Amino acid sequence: MIEDDLARAPRRLFTRRLRLETPRIEHAEAVMASINASLPDLRFVAWAQRAVDLVWAQSFTRRGERFVDEGDALIYYAFERETGAFAGNLDLHHFEFEVPRCQIGYVADSRHAGRGLMHEAASAVVDVAFSLGFLRIEAHSDIENRRAIRFALGLGFREEGVLHAYERDEQGSLRDVVLLARLHPSLVRAV
């Protein structure tokens, strides 16, 4: 796998209930509304610690669009097909092409919790990663973020261990991070 393989990643995906698109400025208002409505559930998301305005959201979507264009990340915003409602954003990042592996991130809109929309979206993004040639997808979650850890486990990721004093939170405290991973089906050994 080489970096150029990312260029063939689809910019739009469709699942049974969702439309996933790479960031565009037109998404800024939906992103803003989602963050502001979901703040109580976003304590582990560094970039979502306070209410945001439209200017911030426009900058955020432009930056996401640039990351995708430059091959630094593959980002999707998930929208309900029927209503157009924003369900959340997902991304693949921290690419290591020699392995090849990457990390997945996901941030849900709390207004749609419990409906399985983010599971559906994340499953599609995992499928894209494997179709591009990645053999290992990792999820890193703060040790106290049980919801994100359960989510990854529900996607077929396995907990591999804890990275102690791995990163700092918004207050500057060192945090432990749970490392979860899912391997390409060709690497999974029969039990």
Confidence at residue 189, expressed as pLDDT on a 0 to 100 scale: 76
Domains and CATH numbers, the chain: 3-138 (3.40.630.30)
Q: What order of strands is seen across the sheet that includes strand 18-21?
A: 12-14, 18-21, 74-80, 86-96, 101-108, 136-142, 174-183, 158-168
- pTM for this structure? 0.94
- Would you put residue 140 in left (φ > 0), alpha (ψ -120 to 50) or beta? beta
Confidence at residue 15, expressed as pLDDT on a 0 to 100 scale: 98
Residues of the chain with pLDDT under 70: 1, 190-191
Confidence at residue 2, expressed as pLDDT on a 0 to 100 scale: 73
Confidence at residue 190, expressed as pLDDT on a 0 to 100 scale: 54
